[in-house]
Structures are given as structure tokens and as C-alpha cells.
Chain A
Amino acid sequence: MKRLLVLGAGTAGTMAANRLHKVLKNEWQITVVDLDTEHIYQPGLLFIPFGTLDRKGVIKPRFKQFVKGINTVLGKIDLVKPELKQVLLMDGTVLPYDQLIIATGTTVAPEETTRISGDSDASEVHEFYTLKGAEALAETMKSWRGGKLVVHVTEMPIKCPIAPLEFVFLADAFFKDHGVRDQVELTYVTPLPGAFTKPVAAKYLGDMLDDRSIAVETDFYTEHIDTTGSGSGKLVSFDERVIDFDLLVTVPINMGSKYIERSGLGDELRHVPVDKHTLLANDYDNIFVLGDASNIPTSKAGSVAHFAVEIFVENFLQHIAGKPMTHSFDGHANCFIETGNQKATLLDFNYTTEPLPGTFPASKVGPLSLLTESRMNHLGKLAFRWAYWYLLLPGRNIFLPSAMSMTGKTPADQLDLRLPTTDSGDPDPGDSDPGDSGDSDSSKSDTPDIPIPSF
């Protein structure tokens, strides 16, 4: 029997192992390693701070999600030794492999951001990307009496990049429900130039923030967080902007597992560089990287892992047969965005096509609507939790094509949108340098034949 070793029993690792076992069980022994025994449904963490879901609703036993015949190992990974085709665990166990799948994801690294704190801090800093963090935030939300709530993304890329936007939408609805919205000042702070990276979605989502009186601070690259003292906390950027908060909900920098750095396999964020179409690690012929652990330039999201695993399985069968891999992953992502009041919107995009409005998956009849709030989208998001455990993880098909389709979408050039072309709302015009946006605006109109980016 040949040996396939899968590092990480989360969304991607579980789907890949279950799908491959079905077709390879007579030739390959599949072994999966993880460091704990609880599989957390990560999209559910968003709802915990608002009390609409609790830990029982998001956890299932990790190793029970595998079909019979797959070996499971509980242990912490120390090193990958590609030259020996071995993985070493912290307890000394050596796991040999013929093919390796890295699927250990990415996680928050709050220690990467300078934090200044004291003994009697009045302001609070929370996160909701871990179960522990989401539960602690839920406790605070129950008794919080209003003030400045700042939702903050430290640095891209982050897992589920629309989750902090969803948080701010849900917070708006939560405070309205409790009749205290007028006592809460909501601000969304992002290192991106807008609410989202791509222009059409940034326009739609930016308008939704405006409609809810949620302030947005863009291009904010965080230097430190200061909570000392009895007043407001301060979020400070490298260009010396300061944002006051009473409650900061931050998304810390996301990084891959530390063994990736120890093994010399990762980039600065401990994500493993791969071919974005085959997910084969750049320097190795027998290491694939699935899910959030790789550096592919698309969202770090469960839907991406799912679409990518479908392509990967076809390619892997060719690869181990010594044939060229003929299937190409297109970066397809499909993300529901909860917008409050039992509604949601939906994004569907890939490496080359930005999120566009329209209907999904079918033209006209949908039933889901892209970049438009609807109750059907919200029901879709709720139904997805069931589909995750009972269809996706076991490796069953869910009737969505893995490649993105233009069916139902309105192409960007047919949209009548007034898209933001330059930065609007510079928060501190007094601090701008002479070569900044004003300059590029004028050069744009004076010399239309030489395109100059708007900074």
C-alpha cells in the first residue's frame, strides 16, 4: 500500500481524505493528523457573540467525520522533512509518506501586533475567529452599555474576508433590536482601499455601510493597539492616524502553522507557495496544499476549499498515475454575507472575475441573488451548516459546479454604477503629502494618454 498523509483534519483535509479514500482504498492507506479532537464549524463563530448560536451548535468530534478505513493520529506536528518523505510529531512519532497533503489552515496571530495595555484598562479588545474569543465577546456584548465599537481588520489576507463586514452588519441589527443603536458609534477599519477589494462589490458593500451609518476608515495599516488607562482605547496606524474605541473587535493577522516555518515551507505569513491551478507546492512534486494553508490569491474560505478539492481529486489521480494534471482550479469562491434582520447577500467570483450582481446559480430564477440582500440568501446560509456536516465533509456532491459560471451574472461593463475611482473621505487631509491623490487626480485629467494610478 502507498501512503498518503494528510496534515490537518479541518474542512479541506477531511473532504480530500474522504473523497480520495472512496477511489483509492485498495491501493493507498490514508492517514490524517490533527492536534485536537474537536472540528469547529467556523462560519458559525460569527453568530456566537450575538447569542444566536453557541458552542454546541458549532462543534462535532473531529475524527468521526472520516469514513471507515482512514487512519487518524492525534498529535502536534514538529517538522516536515521532504527530503526523507517524513513528518515528525512533537512526541517523536515519525510518519512516512509517498504523497503529502498540507491542510492545516491559517489562524489568528494576535501576538504579531504590538499591544500596549495596563492593569486598569477601561476599553476592551476582542476577536471572534476562535471559539474561546467568540464566547468571551458574547459575554461582553450581553452587558456592554454602548460607546465606540470599532471592527478592525489588521492585515490581509484573512480567513473568510467578509466575516468582519458581516460582524458590523449584525452588530448594527443587534443594537437596533435592543433599542440602543443611537448609543453606539460603529466604525469599520480596513487596510483595503474600500469595503472590499474588488470595485463592484466594494461599491455595493460600501453603500450598505453608508445606509446603516457605519463609518469606514480605509487604507489603515495598524502599528499598535493601546488600551492603557480609564479612557478610550486607541488604534494607531503607521501613518499616525488614531481611532478611539471603547470596544475593539479585531481580526488579528492570520498565519499558517508554525511547523511550516520550522520546515522552511512557507512565506512571511507561513502560507505555502503553490501553483494556483493545481495546488502542488512550488518546490515539491509530492506535496499538495489544500484550503487556507496555501498562498493562492483568492478568498481563504470553505467554499474555495470545497471547489478546489473537487479539482484536486481529479488531478491527484492523474498525478499518482504518472500523467500530467489536466484540471485547473479557477479560484472559485462563493460567500454568503449576513446583513442582519434575517437577510443575506451573496458573492460568487474567481481569480479573474470579480463579484458581480445577478442571480445564482440559475439565470433569472436564482433562487439566490448576488450582491443583493434577500431572505432566501439568509436561508441558504443557514442551510449550509447542515450541508457542511452531511454533504461536504463526507465528500458527497452538492450540485454546484466547481468552476465559476457567468450564468445569471451581469458583466461589470454592463453595470450602471458610479464606482469609486479615487479615495474618498481622506480622514486627515492635513496630513497628506504633496504627491498624493490630489496630484494624481489632476494629472489624470491633464494627460489622459498616460494612465497614472489613483493613490
Chain B
Amino acid sequence: MPTITIASSSVEVNDEGFMTVYDEWNEEIGTALAANIGLELTDGHWEVIRFLRDDFASQGETATLRRVSNTGGMPTKSLFKLFPKKPAKKMAYIAGLPKPHGCV
């Protein structure tokens, strides 16, 4: 696992660049990760990211789009507007969480 420095913090990431240690994340890192993929975070983004962080803490896995919509109350359409093209993967990346299961 590579270790990288981001927003002045040293964090562990996997080969794809997703953070692997839940507690190493903070909001400055989230902002920097978002910038890496060309996103500037607004309140709308933060609402989603905080939901994902809290939900991971209680569920032990990254929420799917369906769960963010059903449980978090954020419509799927708005997630596509906030995190274009691949919202599930982008949200997880910025929130410092594993990407949701690649279901096979």
C-alpha cells in the first residue's frame, strides 16, 4: 500500500488511490481529494460526504447510490449533478472510503 502526502497529512491509499484507513481522513483531505478529480466542494457535496462517513461508521461498508438516496434522502439525480458520471466511485474517493463493492 503506498503512502502519500495530501493536505499536509500522510495517508495510506490503495493502488487506485482510494484511502484505506478511515481515521486518517479529515475535511481538508476531502477537499484536496476532490480537487484531484476536478471538483470544488459545495454544501451539497458536503452533505453527501458527511452522510457517507457517518453511514460507513455504523454499517462498515460504503453506501450504494440506492442507500444514499433511500436512507440519506438525497435524490439520485442530484448525486449525478454533484458528482458527474460516476457518483458512487467519486463520492467514496473524496470521503476516504473504499469504493462500493464491484458486484459480480
Contacts and interface: CB of A to CB of B under 8 A. Distances in A.
A binds B: yes
Interface of A: 155-157, 161, 192-193, 196-198, 219, 221, 223, 238-239, 267-269, 297-299, 333, 349, 432-437, 439-440, 443, 449-453, 455
Contact of A450 (B6, B64, B86): B6
A349 B80 CA distance: 32
Contacts of A193: 86
Nearest to A297: B101
Nearest to A350: B104
A197 B102 CA distance: 6
Interface stretch (B9-17, B21-29, B46-54): B9-17
Nearest to B78: A238
A268 B85 contact: no
Given A156-B103, A453-B18, A453-B93, A268 B67 contact: yes
B38 A349 contact: no
Nearest to A347: B104
B31 interface: no
B104 A432 contact: no
Nearest to A199: B102
Contacts of B15: 451
Given A238-B80, A297-B101, A455-B89, A269 B66 contact: yes
A439 B79 CA distance: 20
B40 to A, nearest CB: 9
B38 A452 contact: no
B37 A440 contact: yes
Contacts of A450: 4, 6, 17, 36
Contacts of A267: 67
A451 B65 contact: no
B4 A349 contact: no
B103 A161 contact: yes
Contacts of B93: 453
Contacts of A298: 104
